[in-house]
Structure 1
Amino acid sequence: MSRININRRRLLTVAGVAASTLPLAGCDALDGMLASGATARNAMAKANGLTYRVQRFLIGADSLAKEYSESEIRQGQRPNGSTDPTDATYIALRDSAFAGYRLDIGGLVDRPLSLSLDELRNMPSRTQITRHDCVEGWSCIAKWTGVPLATVLDEARAKPEARYVVFRCFDTMSLGLSGEVAYYESIDMLDARHPQTILAYGLNGSPLPVANGAPLRLRVERQLGYKMAKYVRSIELASDLAPYGQGKGGFWEDLGYDWYAGI
Structure 2
Amino acid sequence: MTRFSMRRRKFLTATAAGVAGTTLAGCDVFDPLLRPGHPVRDAMAGANALTEAAQRLLLDDNALAREFSASEIRQGMRPNGSTDPTDIDYLIAKQNDFAFYRLEVGGLVESPASYSLEELRNMPARTQITRHDCVEGWSCIAKWTGVPLAAILDEVKPRDSARYCVFHCFDTYGGAGLYYESIDMIDARHPQTILAYGMNDAALPVRNGAPLRVRIERQLGYKMAKYIRRIELVDDFSRLYRGKGSFWADLGYDWYAGI
State the TM bucket, normalised to the shorter chain. Answer: over 0.9
Query: Cα RMSD between the aligned structures?
Result: 1.7
Report whether the alignment pairs 1:232 with 2:236.
no
Residue of structure 2 equivalent to 1:44 = 44
CA distance in 1, matches of 2:147, 2:59: 24
Query: After superposition, what is the alpha-carbon deviation per residue over 1:160-205, rounded to whole angstroms, capped at 9, x for unaligned?
Result: 111100001111012xxxx430000011000000010000000011
1:170-189 equivalences under 5 Å are 170-174=170-174, 179-189=175-185
Residue of structure 1 equivalent to 2:125 = 125
Q: Is the 8 A contact 2:21 2:135 kept in 1?
A: no
SS in 1 for 2:115: strand
Report the alpha carbon displacement of residue 19 of structure 1 after superposing the two structures with TM: 2.8
CA distance in 2, matches of 1:7, 1:203: 28
- Opposite residue 115 of structure 1, the aligned amino acid is Y
Residue of structure 1 equivalent to 2:157 = 157
SS in 2 for 1:55: helix
Query: After superposition, what is the alpha-carbon deviation per residue over 1:144-174, rounded to whole angstroms, capped at 9, x for unaligned?
Result: 0000000011111111111100001111012
1:208-219 equivalences under 5 Å are 208-219=204-215
Residue of structure 1 equivalent to 2:55 = 55
Residue of structure 2 equivalent to 1:12 = 16
SS in 2 for 1:146: strand
CA distance in 2, matches of 1:137, 1:73: 18
- Opposite residue 47 of structure 1, the aligned amino acid is A
Identical amino acids, percent of aligned pairs: 60
Residue of structure 2 equivalent to 1:97 = 97
Q: Is the 8 A contact 2:81 2:173 kept in 1?
A: no
When the two structures are superposed, what TM-score results if normalisation uses the length of structure 1?
0.91
Report the alpha carbon displacement of residue 42 of structure 1 after superposing the two structures with TM: 1.1
CA distance in 1, matches of 2:120, 2:94: 17
Residue of structure 1 equivalent to 2:191 = 195
- Opposite residue 119 of structure 2, the aligned amino acid is E
- Opposite residue 9 of structure 1, the aligned amino acid is T
What runs of 5+ residues in structure 2 fail to find an aligned partner? Answer: none
When the two structures are superposed, what TM-score results if normalisation uses the length of structure 2?
0.93
